[in-house]
Structure 1
Amino acid sequence: MKKAILILGVALSVLACNKNDEKSESFKTAYINTSELIEKYEKFKDEDDKFKVKSQELGRPLEAKVKAFQNEAQGFQQNAQAKGQQWAQQKGAELQQREQQLGMEQNALLQQLQQEGAVLKDTLISEVKQFIKTYGKKKGYDYVYGTGDAATVLYAKDQYDITKDVLKELNDSYKSTKKDDKPEVKTEEKK
């Protein structure tokens, strides 16, 4: 009786192993080079360019203040000997206070830009992840792995690399939405 149960158990485990082997062979997998995707995705490039312009615009008033401060500091050095020690001490304290204030403004601006940049990057990455998820479902993949800076795949055959396909569809999708966002140019008919 025990032998029969043992033989039945071994037979079932062999059958179970065979079924698992069959299932694992039918998985459809691929990987994406996430570094390349981010580098070549046109929306990332466009948003990065917009963010650089915004950063420069936000930094212009501070740059003007810093330049004015530097000019005033140069004038202070030239006038310090002529106007006396008491004036130099008073003016030096004022300049030091303004320098600290400019430093705080610069830090606040940098922090604001870092936060806005992080939010923008997170938003774009979420969009790309959602696109990849939809793409994977549409193409029938069981798994889509990522490689690049945050590598989750240490090795894969090149035939499983779908980076170019996903990048093409991502850029095509972005271009079509970009065209839809452009305002229509009206042309006047000649009478």
Structure 2
Amino acid sequence: MKKSLLIIALAVSIISCNKEQTATSSSELKTAYVDTAKLMEEYTESKDLEAKFKSKSEAEAKKFEVEEANFKAEVANFQKNAQANGQAWAQQKNAELEQRQQRLQYAAQSVSQKLQMDGATEMDSLVKNVKAFVKDYGKEKGYDYIYGTGDAATVLYAKDQYDITKEVIQLLNDKYSKEGKKEAATETKDEETKK
């Protein structure tokens, strides 16, 4: 098993060296590109971040569903009792219900905006980290340029041989899973210490 892994690793390194020699000999600049849309779609940390905010959003939505159901029940009760309690009571209760409805709407908008801002902040941080990773990767592999394609395309055409998206995704996912294991181990130790 170890021999076969060693042989595979050696074969990959030879192939990559041949690619580097071909790229260098055919032109002076070594270039590649990353499909940024695909990267963000397949990068595990990006998926985790999206799931995290989807979960938060669903939890907040459930809270408001309960409050909305209570409000609707109160409105139904108001409508049922409006005539029996008189016009003055009905006007006062109606004003209270309108204020409560406005507070519920404001609270829902506020929570939605906060979730969007938090999500944007974390996504900006993730993008910043990915850019730094690609920059370090480019330096390590000797690239002169690494272009981004996808949603904000900066490359209109590139040969498939210059596409390093899969390799970058794999390396990012490996790095993220290692960091996640370290964080999980640290959290477990912290929890055990608290006990």
TM-score of the two chains, using structure 1 as the length reference: 0.79
Aligned counterpart in structure 1 of residue 71 of structure 2, from 62, 66, 69: 69
Aligned counterpart in structure 2 of residue 32 of structure 1, from 31, 34, 40: 34
Aligned counterpart in structure 2 of residue 88 of structure 1, from 87, 90, 102: 90
Displacement of 1:81 in angstroms is: 2.5
Q: Secondary structure at the match of 1:144?
A: strand
Q: What is aligned with 1:3?
A: none
Displacement of 1:183 in angstroms is: 2.8
The 5 Å alignment of 1:66-145 reads: 66-145=68-147
Structure 2 residues not aligned, in runs of 5+: 1-23, 190-195
Q: Secondary structure at the match of 1:182?
A: helix
Moved more, 72-81 or 161-170: 72-81
Letter of the aligned partner of 1:95 in structure 2?
Answer: L
Q: What is aligned with 2:19?
A: none
Q: What is aligned with 2:152?
A: 150
Identity %: 52
Displacement of 1:24 in angstroms is: 9.5
C-alpha distance in structure 2 between counterparts of 1:160 and 1:183, whole Å: 38
Displacement of 1:85 in angstroms is: 2.0
Letter of the aligned partner of 2:109 in structure 1?
Answer: N
**Could you say which structure has the larger radius of gyration?**
1
Aligned-pair Cα RMSD in Å: 2.2
Paired residues in the alignment total 165
Moved more, 56-65 or 148-157: 56-65
Structure 1 residues not aligned, in runs of 5+: 1-21, 187-191
Deviations 1:54-110 (A, max 9, x none): 333444444332221111111111212322222211111110011111111111111
C-alpha distance in structure 2 between counterparts of 1:51 and 1:114, whole Å: 9
C-alpha distance in structure 2 between counterparts of 1:23 and 1:36, whole Å: 30
The 5 Å alignment of 1:4-19 reads: none
C-alpha distance in structure 2 between counterparts of 1:104 and 1:54, whole Å: 18
Displacement of 1:53 in angstroms is: 2.4
TM-score of the two chains, using structure 2 as the length reference: 0.77
Letter of the aligned partner of 2:30 in structure 1?
Answer: K
C-alpha distance in structure 2 between counterparts of 1:24 and 1:74, whole Å: 77
Q: Secondary structure at the match of 1:152?
A: coil
C-alpha distance in structure 2 between counterparts of 1:46 and 1:102, whole Å: 30
Letter of the aligned partner of 1:127 in structure 2?
Answer: N
C-alpha distance in structure 2 between counterparts of 1:140 and 1:25, whole Å: 14
